[in-house]
Amino acid sequence: MARFSKDIKEKRQELYLEGLAKGMSIQGASDYAGIHVSTAWRWGKSDKRFKDQCVEAQVQAGEGLFANLYEAACGYRDEDGKLHPVNVPAADMWLRNYFPGYKQRLMPTDDNDTADMAKLIAEQMKELEKPDTPDPSTMEDDDEEKEANQGN
């Protein structure tokens, strides 16, 4: 089995990590770096630093995907000012995967148009983001209650 020189190996590892960070699969990143998948596997097995860098690159790609999916789910305006409306399937996917409390699976039908569904999804997303804490204005003061009970 042929081995790469140190310089070539470092360049190939850099390209492999770049591919992973861009969201490529392990096979795709290997092809991008010009190496076989088994080479990447061997490097990760023998070099903890490289293995950790691979994990970090995949996390970075996942965060980018999460951000893109959220942006598509909510709708956005690009750099040219073009409006990209709410993407209902992306919103449904985002909610199903990141909010266990989301139960409803919305799909366009003749009975409910996309605009109504987008409004419902936006309402559900806002509701899921609210903290589960009671409104302080409706809470009784525990100290007053304790004092009243001590007087009895």
pLDDT at 116: 66
Note the pLDDT tens digit of each residue in 51-99: 999 999 988 887 877 777 778 888 888 889 888 888 778 777 777 776 6
Q: Is the pLDDT of residue 139 over 50?
A: no
pLDDT band at 133 (very low <50, low <70, confident <90, very high): very low
Structure tokens at 133: 């804490």
Tell me how many degrees the CA angle 79-82-84 measures, rounded to the nearest 5.
105
pLDDT band at 138 (very low <50, low <70, confident <90, very high): very low
Structure tokens at 45: 């097995």
Note the pLDDT tens digit of each residue in 23-61: 888 999 999 999 999 999 999 999 999 999 999 998 888
pLDDT at 143: 47
Range list of H helices, the chain: 6-21, 26-33, 37-46, 48-74, 88-98, 114-129, 142-150
Can you give the residue ranges of every domain in the chain?
1-55, 75-130
Whether the CB-CB separation of 78 and 84 falls below 8 Å is answered with: yes
Specify the higher pLDDT residue, 131 or 21. Answer: 21
pLDDT at 127: 63
Rounded Cα–Cα distance for residues 77 and 121 (Å): 19
SS3 state at 84: strand
Rounded Cα–Cα distance for residues 131 and 88 (Å): 24
Rounded Cα–Cα distance for residues 133 and 56 (Å): 34
